[in-house]
Amino acid sequence: MTGIRPPAGHADPLLDPLFTTDAAADAFSPTARLQGMLEFEAALARAEAAVGVIPAHAVPAIEAACKADLYDLDALGAEAALAGNTAIPMVGHLTRAVKATDEEASRYVHWGATSQDAMDSGLMLQLRRFLDGLDADLAALADGLADLAERHRATPMVARTWLQHALPTSFGLKAAGWLDALGRDRRRIAAARGGLALQFGGAAGTLAALGDAGPAVAEALARELDLPLPALPWHAARDRIAEPASALGILAGTLGTLGRDISLMMQMEVAEAFEPSIPGRGGSSTMPHKRNPVSCAVLLSTAIRAPALVGGLLAAQVQEHERGLGGWHAEWQALPDLCRLVAGAARHARDTIAGLTVDAERMRANLDLTRGLILAEAVTMALGDRMGRMAAHSRVAEASRLASSTGRPLRDVLAEDAGVVEALGIGGLDRLFDPLRYTGAASHFIDRVLDTHRQAKGRQS
Helix (H, G, I), strand (E, B) or coil at 166: strand
Q: 284 catalytic, yes or no?
A: yes
Of the residues 323, 340, 347, 411, only one is catalytic, namely 323
The sign of the dihedral angle between the CA atoms of 10, 11, 14, 18 is: negative
How far is it, in rounded angstroms, from Cα 150 to Cα 443?
Answer: 9
How far is it, in rounded angstroms, from Cα 450 to Cα 130?
Answer: 27
Tell me the residue type at 412. Answer: D
Tell me the residue type at 328. Answer: W
CA-based end-to-end distance of the chain: 45
How far is it, in rounded angstroms, from Cα 166 to Cα 177?
Answer: 17
Q: 106 catalytic, yes or no?
A: no
How far is it, in rounded angstroms, from Cα 357 to Cα 276?
Answer: 7
How far is it, in rounded angstroms, from Cα 150 to Cα 147?
Answer: 5
| Rounded alpha-carbon distances, angstroms, from residue 122 to 197, 200, 243, 418 | 10, 11, 17, 78
What is the CA 432 to chain-centroid distance, rounded? 41
The contacts of residue 47 (CB under 8 Å, 6+ apart) are 217, 220, 221, 223, 224
Of the residues 277, 281, 284, 401, only one is catalytic, namely 284
Q: Where are the beta strands (DSSP E) in 44-151?
A: none
* Cβ atoms 172, 442 nearer than 8 A: yes
Positions annotated as catalytic residues are 284, 323
